[in-house]
Amino acid sequence: MNAAVTTLVILAVMTVLFVVGTIPLGLVSMAGAILLACLGVITKADVFSAFSGGTIVLLGAMMMVGQALFHTGVADKLAEIMVKITGTTENGIILATVSVALLLSSICSGVGVVAMMLPIVIAMSMKAGVSVSRQLIPLSFAASVGCNLTLIGAASNVSTAGLIEDMGIKFLTFFELGKVGLPLCIAFLLYFLTIGKKLLTPGDTSDKAYLEEYTKREPGKKFDNVKGGICITVLICILVAMVFANSQWPMYFIAAIGCVILIATGCLSEAQAMRAVDWPTLFIVGGMSAVSKAMSVSGAGKMITDFVVSMLGTSPNKMMFLAFVFLVTMLLTNMMMNTSTVVLVTPLFVPIAVAMNINPVAIGVAICIAASAPFLTPVGSGTNTLCIRPGNLGFRDFFVPGFGLSVLTMAVSLVLIPIFWPL
């Protein structure tokens, strides 16, 4: 059995285990990565390389920031204000949560947005007496959809643009992706206020013991205006700095600076900071990062795309080609990191589009949007994995509303892309 087939078999087994849900997701992710290393598909160092990478640091740091929001009482204060505006209805909270997440993720990392908003959404839900777990899926998905409003909304957008421009093809300006992104955001909001809300798991599946620990403040401690002010200032500074993040000042480093300031000023103790880190979430991200690399280096991802291309034939219908590109990219982004997905499919599909006299910009737009649609699995994106523990969420919680959202996203995109970028 060659490396590509081995990788696909292991991924299929992992998917079954994700769906069954009897084994913790973090254990499945790491076991899959370790098995791939034992079989020589990836190196043993690859299994743990993500743990020294920026994504893991960003996740851990933002978990600490979220804990500080609770410890200083800022999350409670913000929740009180938000609940007064939105009311205590589930629709009101979904509207507020989704709107803010969509806007912030257009200029910030989706993972950072979810990590920043998680404590506020939890506090809002608890104060309003609505299901915590049902609010986390719209929050997670909104952070992925919102990145379609601008070209810098996701690293995968920037990667796609760079790869296409390296081929000598002029791509998009800063706001052009929003021609499709804005209607998608509106459709997303309407979806979760109607059909999508009905597809969310009934009741509240959240881990009450975890939430009690996560939202805990010291007994009898009153709101401290000074520390609360420091916490809000640090949060705003992190948010603003992330907009201008670059290779010299990456987002994970900015978040780490914020954590150091919060601990140094007493907004959060060192012990509280360590307890704030949800290690299972980090193991899911780390393990799936290694699996994503295996998909690339083994040729498993290319095997899938080659199969699709062979199905299309030499002279496919232009609309059919666009639909296939979108569908393949969307399926891959639920198994691989979105950046890895676009690095795989862009150099393959764009030259084919040029050869077939299909507008390569339209194909690039489809790749950008589809790569930001990880709605089918809890491990499709860091935005999803962040919500697993507090919401006690499983495969079904993501897949059922996510399937409908995937269909909606694809339908809206296939209608609008040819309008703005004729094939």
pLDDT tens, residue by residue, 223-276: 778 888 888 888 888 878 877 777 788 878 888 899 999 999 988 888 888 887
User: What integer pLDDT is reported at residue 217 of this predicted model?
Assistant: 60
Average pLDDT, the chain: 84
pLDDT of residue 247: 77
CA 381 to each of CA 1, 376, 378: distance values in angstroms, whole numbers, following the listed order: 29, 10, 7
Q: Which of 259, 257, 277, 265 is nearest to 214 (CA)?
A: 277
Q: Check residue 218 and give its pLDDT.
A: 56
H runs (alpha helix) in 174-248: 178-193, 195-199, 208-214, 225-243
| Predicted pLDDT of residue 314 | 63
In this structure, are residues 77 and 283 in contact, taking their beta carbons and an 8 Å threshold?
Answer: no
How does DSSP classify residue 259?
H
DSSP state of 221: P
pLDDT of residue 421: 93
Residue numbers in the chain where pLDDT is lower than 70? 1, 79, 216-222, 308, 313-315
The residue written with tokens 């929003």 in the block is: 178
**Which residues, at least 6 apart from 19, have a Cβ–Cβ distance to it below 8 Å?**
395, 396
| DSSP of 104-125 | HTTTS-HHHHHHHHHHHHHHHH
Q: What is the pLDDT of residues 59-102, one digit of tens each?
A: 788 778 877 877 787 777 776 777 777 777 888 888 888 888 88
* Six token digits for residue 184: 């998608």
